[in-house]
Structure 1
Amino acid sequence: MSTLERLSRRHILISKLSAALFYALAVAIALNFFWQPGKIYASGITGFAQILQSVSERYLPFTLATSVMYFVLNIPLFILGWFKIGHRFTIFTLIAVLLASIMMKIIAPIKMSYDPIICAIFGGVINGVGTGIALKSGISTGGLDVLGIILRKKTGKSFGQINIFFNLIIVICAGFVFGWTRALYTALNIFVNGKVIDAVYNQHQKMQVLIVTEHPKHIIDGIQAKMHRGITILHDAEGAYSHTEKTVLLMVIDKYDMYDIYNIVLNNDPYAFMSLSEVSKVYGRFKEQTPV
């Protein structure tokens, strides 16, 4: 393994762990500073963990803490992710969820009273930024991320449809527990959270990549070994300045593949020319990549 490759892997590892820690802080602050004081439920597994705490406080002699239940509810999803998605994906998901559970516990809730609309908006924004950065770094925050990938494979439903179904259950629970006004604030929080995640990171944005190189075979082998993408090869291209024979490679990738593509091209042909542009629509056979 070359020094450049070792540094690249170390950089990726540090960025993923940093993103997991940032997400953990963000969700803990959103929960303890805004959602809990405002009696607002979060989206996804965090919201279900809050529901269990609310129900246990009312009807059980003991309380099921949100921080603990958030981790417990993710355990079956870790198992599913390990066998159905990938080991590396599941390990980083486990780290992110464990850090989030710890931060939820050690960051003390504040006692101040805010307007519930402020709690919904600020909680959604803070958690959305943390989740978006985690996804942008190639890690999952557990919960509906894992379930969404598996259900999409089985049913063909989009992430949006799956999220709407589960979050609708949370909104209904908020209505029964805190009243229907709070259910409206919960829906507002989920909406803001989703919009901020989309603004920070759009997982399904497609990019068109054009590579002009004198060493196409090494680049093609590197790309297909890493992500199994289809590549169109245009032979007999010529550089206007050097008049040397070149090959043009054309492909469409997911936005989160850009860093990998850049490193593959850099390692195999440092003098290659590469351009990227956003793609609005893709027709034909384009396979969505599954995180590993």
Structure 2
Amino acid sequence: MLAKVEKKLDHYYYHQFMGAVLYGVILAIALNYFWKPGHIYSSGFTGLAQLIDTLTDGRISVSWGIAAANLPLLVIAAFKLSRRFAIFTALAVALSALFVPVFATKTVLTPDPLICAIFGGGLNGMAVGTALRCGVGTGGLDIIGMLFKLKFHTKVGSVNLAFNALIMIGAGLTYGWQYALYSIIGVVVSAHFIDVFYKQQQQVQEMIVTDRPEEMCEHIQRKMRRGVTIIDAAHGGYTGKNKSVVLTVVTQHELPDLREAIHEVDKHAFYSESKVDHTGGRFFEPEP
């Protein structure tokens, strides 16, 4: 039994380590091959590090800017969130700072700022989404968002928007306002790709119509740590038979497990899924 637990933990930490490595490599490629040649700024603390590098004429490089800006937040995350999360986030930040100069190049794939914004943003979104999917934070606004959610039970969208607006203004003042607009395009593309690769934060409501509600409820709760509500006395309009409706909310990432649980209990159950914009009450959030 102990060997199985150790194997599972090793597997979990392996995924976190690989997530941190992939984040560092992909971010460095996006920065060196697309953002720099296209004069495009990223969002968040990476964009802040780019702005510092520009304003200091390279005396404070992007690598040092990434490391220095994230250091105090990593210390706070270790005490307020979890040490494991802080350690792997620090690893992701350190590797990104390390790989930026390693992947430095004079090769210009294209000088077109629009192409650079789209492909750089896409790579950045893939890097961040993959890291988050592996349980690794990327520092900066990710940590601020988690701290706000933990303290105030709310998202930090306005803070993110204000912070990134300052970065875009910096891009406009530095390279010209057309580059600020290109940078905004890159941020939008990045946000879309984060949603594509990281589905844990996307919630889905599942409605299940079955004649085995108690068994369905017990199986879902045993297989997944999710609450279930049973609505009795439903009536089938076509069959005329009495049914029960089982409601639960899961993350997009958990949908395959939920569908499997439904099939294991009742192969003939009807179920439908709908996107959830907000949940209140005690929705289980795993420790970061």
What TM-score do you get using the length of structure 1 for normalisation?
0.77
User: Match for residue 240 of structure 1?
Assistant: none
SS in 1 for 2:21: helix
State the Cα distance separating 1:163 from its structure 2 match: 2.0
State the Cα distance separating 1:4 from its structure 2 match: 3.2
The one of 191, 194, 202 aligned to 2:191 = 194
Q: Distance in 2 between matches of 1:91 and 1:258?
A: 29
Residues 88-99 of structure 1: matches in 2 within 5 Å?
88-99=84-95
Residue type of the alignment partner of 2:25: L
Residues 197-208 of structure 1: matches in 2 within 5 Å?
197-207=194-204
Q: Distance in 2 between matches of 1:168 and 1:73?
A: 18
Rate the CA distance shift 1:75–1:198 in 2: closer, same or farther, 3 A.
same
SS in 2 for 1:158: coil
State the Cα distance separating 1:223 from its structure 2 match: 6.2
Query: Residues 50 and 66 of structure 1 are in contact (CA less than 8 Å); yes or no, is this contact kept in structure 2?
Result: yes
Query: Residues 24 and 97 of structure 2 are in contact (CA less than 8 Å); yes or no, is this contact kept in structure 1?
Result: yes
Residues 121-270 of structure 1: matches in 2 within 5 Å?
121-155=118-152, 157-207=154-204, 230-232=227-229, 251-256=248-253
User: Match for residue 32 of structure 2?
Assistant: 32
User: Match for residue 242 of structure 2?
Assistant: none
Q: How many residue pairs were aligned?
A: 264
Query: Residues 205 and 275 of structure 2 are in contact (CA less than 8 Å); yes or no, is this contact kept in structure 1?
Result: no
Query: Residues 35 and 120 of structure 1 are in contact (CA less than 8 Å); yes or no, is this contact kept in structure 2?
Result: yes
Query: Residues 216 and 265 of structure 2 are in contact (CA less than 8 Å); yes or no, is this contact kept in structure 1?
Result: no
Q: Distance in 2 between matches of 1:33 and 1:95?
A: 23
SS in 2 for 1:50: helix
State the Cα distance separating 1:136 from its structure 2 match: 1.4
Q: Distance in 2 between matches of 1:164 and 1:185?
A: 16
Deviations 1:182-208 (A, max 9, x none): 111111111111111112223422245
Deviations 1:244-264 (A, max 9, x none): xxxx997433345679x78xx
SS in 2 for 1:280: strand
State the Cα distance separating 1:71 from its structure 2 match: 1.1
Q: Distance in 2 between matches of 1:68 and 1:93?
A: 16
User: Match for residue 241 of structure 1?
Assistant: none
SS in 2 for 1:289: coil
Q: Distance in 2 between matches of 1:39 and 1:216?
A: 56
Q: Distance in 1 between matches of 2:29 and 2:70?
A: 20
Q: Distance in 2 between matches of 1:157 and 1:54?
A: 34
Rate the CA distance shift 1:290–1:175 in 2: closer, same or farther, 3 A.
farther
Residues 86-125 of structure 1: matches in 2 within 5 Å?
86-112=82-108, 113-125=110-122
SS in 1 for 2:249: strand
Rate the CA distance shift 1:120–1:130 in 2: closer, same or farther, 3 A.
same
Query: Residues 15 and 137 of structure 1 are in contact (CA less than 8 Å); yes or no, is this contact kept in structure 2?
Result: yes
Identity of paired residues, percent? Answer: 34
Higher mean C-alpha displacement, 134-143 vs 70-79? 134-143
Q: Distance in 1 between matches of 2:17 and 2:216?
A: 37
User: Match for residue 280 of structure 1?
Assistant: 275
State the Cα distance separating 1:283 from its structure 2 match: 5.4
Stretches of structure 2 that go unaligned for 5 or more consecutive residues are: 232-244
Q: Distance in 2 between matches of 1:258 and 1:12?
A: 20
Higher mean C-alpha displacement, 162-171 vs 3-12? 3-12
The one of 52, 71, 80 aligned to 1:75 = 71
Residue type of the alignment partner of 1:78: L
State the Cα distance separating 1:119 from its structure 2 match: 0.8
Deviations 1:224-243 (A, max 9, x none): 6xxxx545589xxxxxxxxx
Residue type of the alignment partner of 2:23: Y
Rate the CA distance shift 1:116–1:231 in 2: closer, same or farther, 3 A.
same
Query: Residues 205 and 279 of structure 1 are in contact (CA less than 8 Å); yes or no, is this contact kept in structure 2?
Result: no
Residue type of the alignment partner of 2:191: G
Query: Residues 138 and 291 of structure 1 are in contact (CA less than 8 Å); yes or no, is this contact kept in structure 2?
Result: no
Higher mean C-alpha displacement, 71-80 vs 154-163? 154-163
Q: Distance in 1 between matches of 2:34 and 2:89?
A: 24
SS in 1 for 2:127: helix
User: Match for residue 242 of structure 1?
Assistant: none
State the Cα distance separating 1:279 from its structure 2 match: 4.0
Query: Over aligned residues, Cα RMSD in angstroms?
Result: 3.4
Residue type of the alignment partner of 1:49: A
Q: Distance in 2 between matches of 1:191 and 1:21?
A: 24
